[in-house]
């Protein structure tokens, strides 16, 4: 049973560039959430996708956008990268019908901005 997979594992970009991160949810899950974890901090909620729509959004600027595909996989896009965007980006999946079950996390994508 495959868990949540994220790609790439590491990425180096420069300021002003754009980046796309990818996530495949755990088998059977239909909801994907994205979190940003800066060094030494807890994960911060970016947004959540279900049925290919953004259902909920955290306090992140419009430079952060996402997409969910019919197979439930998801992408996180960040435009006009800033040094402060350097972080571990975590994807979590869950099943919307099982609201009391925990989210399952991938190992993340480490994004470094130079």
Residues found near other proteins in the complex (CB under 8 A): 4, 31, 33, 35, 40-45, 48, 50, 55-56, 58, 90, 92, 94, 99-100, 102-108, 110
Nearer to other proteins, 47 or 85 (CB): 47
- Write down the least CB distance from residue 45 to other proteins, Å: 5
Distance CA 103, CA 93 (A): 5
Q: Are strands 10-13 and 109-113 parallel, antiparallel or unpaired?
A: parallel
Distance CA 95, CA 29 (A): 5
Burial of 92 (0-12, 13-18, 19+ CB in 10 A): buried
- Number of residues that this document lists for the chain: 114
Nearer to other proteins, 33 or 85 (CB): 33
Nearer to other proteins, 43 or 113 (CB): 43
- Write down the least CB distance from residue 69 to other proteins, Å: 19
């Amino acid at each position: 049973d495959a868990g949540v997979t994220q790609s790439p594992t590491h990425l180096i970009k420069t300021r002003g560039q754009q980046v796309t991160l990818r996530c495949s949810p755990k088998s059977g899950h239909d909801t994907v959430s994205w979190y940003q974890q800066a060094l030494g901090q807890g994960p911060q909620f970016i947004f959540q996708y279900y049925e290919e729509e953004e259902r909920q959004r955290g306090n992140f600027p419009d430079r952060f956008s996402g997409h969910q595909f019919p197979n439930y996989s998801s992408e996180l896009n960040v435009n006009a990268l800033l040094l402060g965007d350097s972080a571990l980006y975590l994807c979590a999946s869950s099943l919307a019908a099982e609201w009391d079950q925990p989210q399952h996390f991938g190992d993340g994508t480490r994004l470094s901005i130079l």
